[in-house]
Structure 1
Amino acid sequence: MLRIQICIANCTANTNMSNTLFPTELPTTQEMYKALCERDSEYEGIFIVGVKTTGIFCRPTCPAKKPLEKNVSFYGNVRDALAAGFRPCKRCRPMEAFGTAPEWLANLLSQIEEFPDRRWKDHDLRELGLEPARVRRWFKAQHGMTFHCYQRTRRLGRAIGQIQVDNQSATSAQLNSGYESASGFRDAFKKLFENVPPSRARGDSTGSAESAKPMYVNRVLTELGPMVCAANEQGLHLLEFADRRMLETQIKRVNKLTRCTFVIGENEFHRSIQGELQAWFAGKLEKFQTPIVLKGTTFQEQVWRQLLQIRYGESRSYEQIAKNLENPKAMRAVGKANGDNRFAIVVPCHRVIRADGSLSGYGGGVWRKQWMLNHEQRSLKTN
């Protein structure tokens, strides 16, 4: 099986993180300066740094040469840095969601979408004024693969979709997806789906081709950083922040539960959840409607359904959820099931806090949990 590793850089938060509901303080100056010098991605969204000698402000992970500690000021958000008179850095682009494609790559990405079956060569990139090595580095950083590998994976994913959804023959899908030979298409398909030939991609009455069904995976950019979204014809199976340490584990779990293989691409559910996330971040959506596929142990699914019942802007404790399940001693198990949730934001595990009202751990980072709770509270007051 071809293993598509989702290597997407960490997140940024471009919004005001201060709120009276859950007041926060910045780390110490020494801690933030150390994080800046080490380009520590775990501090993305925690602080913004203003450089007095240049008048610009940057992310903690900015690749620019590091200034002396005496020449920097730290801020909790972009707004405060702007108010202090700093302008955004052109290298790390702190005003944009991290993962946004740079301007120099926009034309290429546009043409890839317009002509998905084109086989791009290095000389084609040079004709666009692009250095192939630079393009390779960007795709390697954003997608965990080179540009040419990305092209092959997308073409194969499109071909599989044509076979399964459009009911095309394997030969037609091969020709429509830019594969010049039938043997090349078959070899690529077998490598991706563990020796299942293309002719079996549609499946049969016995379900023997279940392992040949693709799980389309793509990125969704948000104000809290990029998220990885995986969906098949049933609905969403995964929506998680790209920098979560358990992401690879969650991908393996989805693979084991569905017997599908991850392929770069998107379907209607990707587009649906992207629109709903934009509305949620704008404070205009309280309940998600995009279908999700909850698969886990009986207890996990019971906990996740309890999470779905927590209303927007409210919170519950682990103890309350355990009592609702008529198992008051299961608080620790509730916490573990909460951490195993594969649908960040949509299945609102961020609304679960300790009994004393304090925040507990969160797979996407406690700072994100705090931001989301604050965001929902602010939206309720505004609307």
Structure 2
Amino acid sequence: MHHLRIDTPVGPILISGTADFINEVAFTDQPPVDFPQAPSLLLNCAQQLYEYFSGDRKTFELPIAQEGTDFQQLVWQQLLSIPFGQTISYQQLARRIRNPKSIRAVGTTNGKNKLVIIVPCHRVIGSDGSLTGYAGGLWRKRWLLDHERTDLFTGLL
């Protein structure tokens, strides 16, 4: 497993993976560590994240893999279908997987997503439009949503 730490507008992010897959993109409060040279895939992931933060990227083109149950994989796959700049509720997400009573399990699975931003769990909100639950902190969730909405509006000018 290889690691690469980058600085972003929402704090340091640690990218972890192999030469073949990105396995984790996580916010970190750990002090900087010198890692051996990262494989090109991690450098590519960092570049795509920089492009996202600069407003030049709306989707990611990376081979990703995170371990999870079939249910978790289904939820994470649905997260990838939420368009840039849009949000859905946990209830809507549960309906999308054809399991409307699984709202709590969907929320728990959302919180276990190890590929923040890449698998856009920040785009899931409460049914009343409120920001709820985000492993990186609600301030980051708000920042990411505002960033995506701002970028949508700048494209209209």
TM-score higher than 0.5 = yes
> How many angstroms does 1:229 deviate by?
0.8
Aligned residues: 151
- The equivalent position to 1:329 in structure 2, one of 87, 101, 104, is 101
1:291 counterpart = 2:63: yes
Counterpart of 1:218 in structure 2: which amino acid? L
| Structure 2 SS opposite 1:356 | coil
The match for 1:367 is 139
Moved segments of 4+, more than 2 Å: none
Given that 2:94 and 2:101 are in contact with CA atoms closer than 8 Å, whether structure 1 keeps it comes out as yes
What per-residue deviation string (whole Å, max 9, x for no partner) do you get for residues 41-100 of structure 1? xxxxxxxxxxxxxxxxxxxxxxxxxxxxxxxxxxxxxxxxxxxxxxxxxxxxxxxxxxxx
TM-score by length of 1: 0.39
Contact 1:243–1:364 at 8 Å: present in 2 too? no
Alpha-carbon distance between aligned partners in 2 of 1:267 and 1:305, rounded to the nearest angstrom: 25
1:118 aligns with none
- Equivalent residue for 1:224, pick from 5, 10, 21: 10
Q: In structure 2, what residue type is equivalent to 1:294?
A: Q
Q: Does 1 or 2 have the higher relative contact order (CA < 8 Å, sep 6+)? A: 2
Separation (CA, whole Å) in 2 of partners of 1:218 and 1:282 = 19
Which structure's residues are more often helix, by fraction? 1
Q: How much has 1:265 moved relative to structure 2?
A: 3.8
Which whole-Å CA distance do the structure 1 matches of 2:36 and 2:4 have between them?
Answer: 6
Which amino acid in 1 is paired with 2:111? Answer: G
Uncovered stretches (5+) of structure 1, i.e. residues with no partner: 1-214, 245-262
Write the distance in 1 (CA, Å) between the matches of 2:37 and 2:106.
34
Aligned pair 1:381/2:153, yes or no?
yes
Partner of 2:110: 338
Q: Deviations over 1:131-188 (max 9, x none)?
A: xxxxxxxxxxxxxxxxxxxxxxxxxxxxxxxxxxxxxxxxxxxxxxxxxxxxxxxxxx
Counterpart amino acid of residue 239 in structure 1: V
2:118 counterpart letter in structure 1: V
Cα distance in 2 between the residues matched to 1:274 and 1:370 = 22
* Structure 2 counterpart of 1:316: 88
- Asked if structure 2 preserves the Cα contact closer than 8 Å seen for 1:234 and 1:293, the reply is no
Question: For residues 359 and 285 of structure 1, what CA distance do their matches in structure 2 show?
Answer: 24
- For 1:376 and 1:319, the matched residues in 2 are separated by 22
User: Structure 2: 5+ residue runs without aligned partners?
Assistant: none
Report the 3-state secondary structure (helix = DSSP H, G, I; strand = E; otherwise coil) of the residue aligned with 2:4. Answer: strand
